[in-house]
């Protein structure tokens, strides 16, 4: 029998209570957090869909592995396991452990960047862009046109525009820091990148002598889409698909907090020895010695196990199909969404949901606050709060899209939690035309979405 119900392919062995609050309590908490969910306390959140990063539930096998963690400063056994797991997966000889993805980003982009340098990506994730810009370099996004149309159905909306890449590499000849393919494309809607696209990018990079890096934190999820959507790929295992993609690149940056199913960790892997040596110097300076790089032995052990578990076909099937299940439920309610549904999250098109709220009044922030008020759901705005810039006249240069992300932690929530989320959107839709925008009252220079303060407009 072919079941419609997607069961979680695991049993629950340990539970963590959720504090249930009232709407009146949440109204107070939201005001105290200056209408920025990053400033809410986790204990005041019922369903936390802010991120899928570092929020995974580890398996019994990973917890058991943690007891095996070797905390030696140098030559740790756990490091050997992690290094071997990464080498086997990426096919890259040089592996640098880091405490999370952005530490690897700071090292590699700090080294390759600097004033006058240019980086090109399908879409830079916010920390990627910030690290590049902090070095003085410029980050250019070059997604395919289809990726910008949220309603359009396309199997690989995360793809890079290879013709534009070719043009950009010619234009910035001699000044290119690296080309970065983010799989899946998080800021572009969690959309997958095809093998053909990765091959196209690799070929163009080779022709122009540009360094090609993968931001691979969701590579297993990306592999699921490649296997099920790309001709000629169905016969390969998920791991083989990932390995084939890694083989095309010169290096990879990974936040292990996603597809390595752990709460902390990351790495930078490289093929080139000289580049690895330069990065290793920076690693030792700020992260730690080469055999731990800021990650404890037990976490390296869990990473090695997680990198294996994540490619389990039953897990990946459940993971992608359950995210799609939530997306389809919202779609059926008429909620404007990024289509098709990506791997780790459902992205709502707040610009279409609230056409009466202009970008400078942050429609995404309005939805994020609604979800918290109505149900204690924490989500994140990926729009003009996150990516907006100010023009010379002080006016807002809005982001292309105004999205809100419901990111699903791995192996954490059950189907009833997701039903609760879907039900909340019935009310969001009823309140739609009455929902108002926000204004920013305080903001820092970089990554303003983390700490900005807002005020509701009346």
The site for ligand F0G (CB under 6 A) is made up of 51, 53, 100-102, 125, 127-128, 182, 186, 215, 217, 255, 257, 266, 407
Residue 279: CB minimum distance to ligand F0G, A: 16
Instruction: Give the C-alpha separation, 333 to 341, whole Å.
Output: 15
Which residue lies nearer to ligand F0G by CB, 404 or 407? 407
Angle between helices 313-332 and 219-229 (to 10 degrees): 80
Residue closest to 208 by CA, chosen among 164, 165, 262 = 165
Residue 391: CB minimum distance to ligand F0G, A: 27
Is there a contact between 437 and 402 (Cβ–Cβ < 8 Å)? no
Which residue lies nearer to ligand F0G by CB, 276 or 407? 407
Instruction: Give the C-alpha separation, 29 to 35, whole Å.
Output: 9
Is there a contact between 407 and 51 (Cβ–Cβ < 8 Å)? yes
286 CB burial (10 A radius; 0-12, 13-18, 19+): middle
Residue 299: CB minimum distance to ligand F0G, A: 12
Which residue lies nearer to ligand F0G by CB, 51 or 435? 51
- Output the CA angle 347-351-357, nearest 5 degrees: 135
Which residue lies nearer to ligand F0G by CB, 86 or 357? 86
Residue 51: CB minimum distance to ligand F0G, A: 3
Which residue lies nearer to ligand F0G by CB, 45 or 357? 45
Residue 132: CB minimum distance to ligand F0G, A: 12
Which residue lies nearer to ligand F0G by CB, 139 or 357? 139
Strand pairing category for 453-456 and 438-442: antiparallel
Is there a contact between 305 and 65 (Cβ–Cβ < 8 Å)? yes
Contacts of 94 (CB under 8 A, 6+ apart): 269, 270, 271, 272, 273, 276
Which residue lies nearer to ligand F0G by CB, 56 or 186? 186
Residue 3: CB minimum distance to ligand F0G, A: 31
Q: Positive or negative, the Cα torsion across 339, 342, 346, 351?
A: negative
DSSP per residue, 323-383: HHHHHHHHHHTT--B-SS--SSEEEEEHHHH-TTS-GGG-HHHHHHHHHHHHH-EE-EEES
Is there a contact between 261 and 55 (Cβ–Cβ < 8 Å)? no
CB atoms near residue 203 (< 10 Å): 14
Residue 7: CB minimum distance to ligand F0G, A: 26
Which residue lies nearer to ligand F0G by CB, 69 or 294? 294
Residue 100: CB minimum distance to ligand F0G, A: 3
The Cβ-side half-sphere exposure at 355, using a 13 Å CA radius, reads 3
Residue 255: CB minimum distance to ligand F0G, A: 3
How many Å from the N-terminal Cα to the C-terminal Cα in the chain? 54
Which residue lies nearer to ligand F0G by CB, 201 or 357? 201
Position with the least CB separation from ligand F0G: 101
């Amino acid at each position: 029998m072919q079941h419609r119900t997607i069961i979680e392919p695991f049993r629950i062995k340990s539970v963590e209570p959720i504090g249930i609050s009232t709407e009146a309590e949440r109204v107070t908490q939201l005001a105290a957090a200056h209408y920025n969910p990053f400033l809410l306390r986790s204990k005041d959140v019922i369903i936390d869909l802010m991120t899928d990063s570092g929020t995974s539930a580890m398996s019994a096998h990973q917890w058991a592995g943690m007891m095996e963690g070797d905390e030696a400063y140098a030559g740790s056994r756990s490091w050997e396991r992690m290094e071997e797991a990464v080498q086997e997966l990426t096919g890259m000889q040089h592996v640098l452990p880091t405490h999370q993805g952005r530490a690897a980003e700071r090292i590699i982009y700090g080294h390759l960047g600097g004033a006058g340098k240019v980086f090109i990506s399908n879409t830079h994730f916010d920390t990627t862009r910030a690290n590049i810009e902090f070095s003085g370099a410029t980050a250019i996004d070059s997604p395919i046109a289809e990726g910008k149309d949220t309603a359009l159905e396309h199997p690989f909306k995360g793809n890079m525009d290879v013709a534009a890449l070719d043009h950009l590499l010619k234009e910035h000849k001699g000044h290119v820091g690296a080309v970065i393919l983010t799989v899946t494309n998080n800021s572009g809607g969690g959309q997958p990148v095809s093998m053909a696209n990765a091959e196209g990018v690799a070929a163009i990079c080779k022709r122009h002598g540009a360094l090609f890096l993968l931001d691979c934190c969701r590579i297993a999820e990306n592999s699921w889409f490649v296997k099920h959507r790309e001709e000629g790929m169905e016969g390969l295992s998920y791991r083989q698909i990932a390995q084939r993609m890694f083989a095309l690149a010169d290096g990879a940056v990974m936040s292990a907090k996603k597809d390595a199913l752990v709460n902390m960790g990351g790495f930078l892997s490289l093929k080139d020895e000289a580049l690895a040596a330069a990065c290793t110097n920076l690693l030792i300076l700020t992260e730690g010695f080469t055999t731990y790089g800021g990650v404890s032995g037990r976490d390296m052990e869990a990473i090695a196990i997680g990198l294996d578990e994540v490619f389990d076909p039953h897990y990946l099937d459940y993971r992608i199909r359950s995210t799609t299940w939530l997306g389809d439920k919202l779609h059926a309610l008429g909620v404007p969404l990024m289509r098709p549904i990506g791997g780790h999250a459902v992205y709502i098109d707040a610009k279409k949901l609230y056409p009466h709220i202009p970008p400078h009044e942050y429609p995404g922030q309005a939805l994020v606050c609604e979800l918290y008020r109505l149900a204690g759901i924490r989500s994140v705005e990926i729009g003009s709060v996150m990516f907006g810039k100010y023009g010379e006249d002080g006016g807002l240069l809005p982001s292309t899209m105004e999205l809100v992300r419901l990111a699903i932690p791995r192996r954490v929530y059950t189907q009833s939690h997701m039903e609760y989320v879907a039900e909340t959107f019935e009310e969001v839709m009823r309140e739609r035309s009455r929902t108002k925008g926000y204004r920013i009252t305080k903001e820092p220079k970089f990554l303003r979405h983390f700490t900005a303060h807002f005020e509701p407009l009346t």
